[in-house]
Amino acid sequence: MTSISEEELAELRERGKRLSAVYVYEAPLRAWHWLNALAIVCLCLTGYFIGQPLPTMPGEASANFLMGYIRFVHFTAALLFVVGFIGRMYWALVGNHHASQLFILPFWKGVWWVEVWEEIRWYLFLKREPRKYVGHNPLAQLAMFFFIVLGSLFMIFTGLALYSEGLMQGSWADKIAGWVLPMLGGSADVHAYHRLGMWIFVVFIIIHVYVAIREDIMSRQSIVSTMISGVRTFKDDRAE
Partner 1 sequence: MAMTETFYDVMRRQGITRRSLLKFCSLTATALGLGPSYVPQIAHAMETKPRTPVLWLHGLECTCCSESFIRSAHPLAKDVVLSMISLDYDDTLMASAGHQAEAILDEVMTKYKGNYILAVEGNPPLNQDGMSCIIGGKPFVDQLRKVAKDAKAIISWGSCASFGCVQAARPNPTRATPVHEVITDKPIIRVPGCPPIAEVMTGVITYMLTFDRIPPLDRMGRPLMFYSQRIHDKCYRRPHFDAGQFVEAFDDESARKGYCLYKVGCKGPTTYNACSTVRWNEGTSFPIQSGHGCIGCSEEGFWDKGSWYARLTDIHQFGIEANADKIGGVAAAAVGGAVAVHAAVSALKRAQQKGE
Rule CB under 8 A: which residues touch partner 1?
Answer: 51-57, 61-68, 70, 123, 125, 128, 165-166, 168-169, 178-179, 181-182, 185-189, 191-193, 195-196, 198-200, 202-203, 206-207, 210, 214, 217-218
Q: Which is nearer to partner 1, 2 or 64 (CB)?
A: 64
Q: Which residues lie below 8 Å from residue 3, measured CB to CB, with a gap of 6+? A: none
Residue 164: CB minimum distance to partner 1, A: 11
**Closest by CA position to 17, among listed 232, 226, 212:** 232
Q: Which is nearer to partner 1, 111 or 217 (CB)?
A: 217
Q: Which residues lie below 8 Å from residue 86, measured CB to CB, with a gap of 6+? A: none
Q: Does residue 147 contact residue 206 with C-beta atoms inside 8 Å?
A: no
Q: Which is nearer to partner 1, 58 or 110 (CB)?
A: 58
Q: Which is nearer to partner 1, 48 or 103 (CB)?
A: 48
Rg of the chain's alpha carbons, rounded to an integer?
21
Q: Which is nearer to partner 1, 43 or 198 (CB)?
A: 198
Residue 71: CB minimum distance to partner 1, A: 8
Q: Which residues lie below 8 Å from residue 239, measured CB to CB, with a gap of 6+? A: 14, 17, 18
Residue 228: CB minimum distance to partner 1, A: 22
Residue 98: CB minimum distance to partner 1, A: 26
Q: Which residues lie below 8 Å from residue 189, measured CB to CB, with a gap of 6+? A: none
